[in-house]
Structure 1
């Protein structure tokens, strides 16, 4: 039997780091159910509600997580009138009463403990107890203080936001991957995409995502069916997400679902609707490799004419989709210099 039935943690989690995880793990060890309220007004760049929700739910699916946004408040409390999200700079009492309001109207069960790593925790609990006494009698909420002086986990969200890559050891891979810039290489056959993605990963002490389409093509001895194209895109994305958490600053990606979508149309005349949606997957940096490289026929490629057609398709699609890109031309060394110029 754990000492607490319902416990509460409140935070911005901008970003969710291992200090927060120590706090949540401590609450889980002592509570039957942990509730997490997360909100920020204004939102902090790079740590929006969608990301915070993904971080918390992927690492702590057993917790009840509430991402509080203006849209959330309108959806849940429109019958009460206009409920505003407190500004980060507002008085602490306003924030404490707001959290008490959320607990009363969202959870509707007695609160046993609040876990914090801050010296304001006692005042927070006092305000909660006073607020709850107006609604229904309940036992006093207790405050549990965890690692106030940051001895166990010496980090803060402010430090991480200044340089998430320097402090990446304080971030779970599920969190850090959202700070890694995805750099993709597009282009026709034999334009240096695979070589560049691999060399740039080595040069930047990071990782690259190889082209899964080629891997599957080889595994199936050159036979790909219509359904294989969607499989290629989905496996490629899964690999990308996995490696992003292990990369450093940049993840170099050899082709994207846009390429797979193009091949689906070329070979089958249409694409699966899910693949058509995946072609819009965003990348922070896009490089288009020009077909001015010497063409190398490895026994799997269609030829120079097809490579030229592919390049024209990319030019047209990138313009239609308003995707910014940098054209890479010249020798391998010249292309690497251009990439470094863009990235640094």
Structure 2
């Protein structure tokens, strides 16, 4: 049985439990339209993300993006399942294996959101009953057969792709060209992140800000290019201000300066987490490239400078391999789970040191530059060295970004 896009399921009533399945590789406007249309025709809606293990975008990311994109839909639950079964709509055995995966996903799904006035399943029997669907919504030819096998009505939604002329295949082939079809959570996951890093007073802020401005000037999809400032600087300013206030309140002579601060591992973890949050927020609202004045990896190197090197000396700190650095677990996890797509290292040669009241490492600029260079190489992060005048550095950075975007992403073909 097939319903229309504007009408309800067969019989015209509202379904108790609807189902939408798909690869969502990646989620795009057509998927969101399908989900939101289905939600209008059922009291509960389950979305099952079925991803093959060889596909580039992790299953957990797709589930997370869909949950974030539809967080305001009542009665919606999203669950993921790995589906490495080949696609063959003419093979009954293959059909059965796919349906088994769908039913298994529904059976283990815990209903966390229900419509006002309803109660969620409280017993095993209730849960088993709640896994039964009576409406399947798709935009694909296979939808009617899937609905038949599940004993449900079928709601066919925009199969011709007239409302949203986009597909996962098209998005994978040209994410930049399809940027308008992606919602903020998906953009945040697919944006290429470019981090500018360097020793103190080497122009990281000037370069990163100018780079973002140059990208925005291209207009179109690039007009929303984001720039994420260095949160560590804000954190330092706040710590100095607090110390000065406490000093004055106690009636002590003199004014504390940045050199008087004592840094702990917890400080760097706090800075890294906030920096990551700022990145994620900016990436979702921005263009295909996000420009960052530092990142979590950079924070790890500053931890080496202010904590490890203070304890054992710069030479001994540099000799410790990345895997053996005494980084806080939370900081290391952030650095190893999230990395920029490109790092731009601002060299100190030709850039005079400018004291702004928060810098204390003029004597360590050469060591810090070499530490960044060594750690970038050791951890296999892609990086480009920036030298010359500010204008020359920005031009080199822009070319590197263009090369990054032109190279595209290598999306493994979906399992067929």
TM range (shorter): 0.7 to 0.9
Match of residue 277 from structure 1: 333
Q: Structure 2: how far apart are the matches of 1:278 and 1:67?
A: 24
1:267 to 293, 306, 319: 306
**2:208 maps to 1:189:** no
Matches within 5 A, 1:43-122: 43-45=54-56, 47-60=57-70, 63-69=76-82, 85-88=84-87, 91=90, 93=92, 96-106=95-105, 107=107, 108-109=128-129, 110-122=132-144
Distance 1:329 1:55 in 2: 39
Is 2:277 aligned against 1:255?
no
In the TM superposition, 1:68-217 aligns within 5 A as: 68-69=81-82, 85-88=84-87, 91=90, 93=92, 96-106=95-105, 107=107, 108-109=128-129, 110-126=132-148, 128=149, 140-205=151-216, 206-217=225-236
Question: Which string of whole-angstrom CA distances, capped at 9 and with x for unpartnered residues, describes residues 284-317 of structure 1?
Answer: 1111111112222222222432211211221232
Residue aligned with 1:66, SS: strand
- Unpaired runs of 5+ residues, structure 1, are 71-84, 130-139
Show the counterpart of 2:113: none
Q: Could you say what secondary structure the match of 1:245 adopts?
A: helix
SS in 2 for 1:204: helix
TM-score by length of 1: 0.83
Give the whole-Å Cα distance in 2 for the aligned partners of 1:174 and 1:183: 18
Aligned partners of 1:233 and 1:257 also within 8 Å: yes
Aligned residues: 317
Mapped contact 1:164–1:176 kept (Cα < 8 A): no
Shift of residue 16 of structure 1? 0.6
Given that residues 303 and 327 in structure 2 are in contact (C-alpha distance below 8 angstroms), is that contact kept between their aligned partners in structure 1? yes
For residues 117 and 252 of structure 1, the distance between their equivalents in structure 2, rounded to whole angstroms, comes to 37
Matched-pair contact (CA < 8 Å) for 1:15–1:161: yes
Which of 352, 357, 364 is the equivalent residue of 1:299? 357
Q: Alignment partner of 1:159: what SS?
A: helix
Unaligned ranges ≥5, structure 2:
1-12, 108-127, 217-224, 242-257, 309-325, 403-416
Cα distance, 1:44–1:89 mapped onto 2, change above 3 Å: farther
Pick from 318, 330, 333 the counterpart of residue 388 of structure 2.
330
2-side partners of 1:267 and 1:44: how far apart? 41
Separation in structure 2 between the aligned mates of residue 188 and residue 43 of structure 1, nearest angstrom: 40
Tell me the equivalent position of 1:228.
Answer: 267
TM-score (norm 2): 0.69
Q: Which has the higher contact order (CA 8 A, sep 6+)?
A: 2
CA contact (8 A) 2:50 2:81 kept: yes
Question: How has the CA–CA distance of structure 1 residues 285 and 30 changed in structure 2, closer, same or farther, with 3 Å as cutoff?
Answer: same
Q: Which moved more, 1:161-170 or 1:242-251?
A: 161-170
**Separation in 2 of the partners of 1:295 and 1:104?**
64
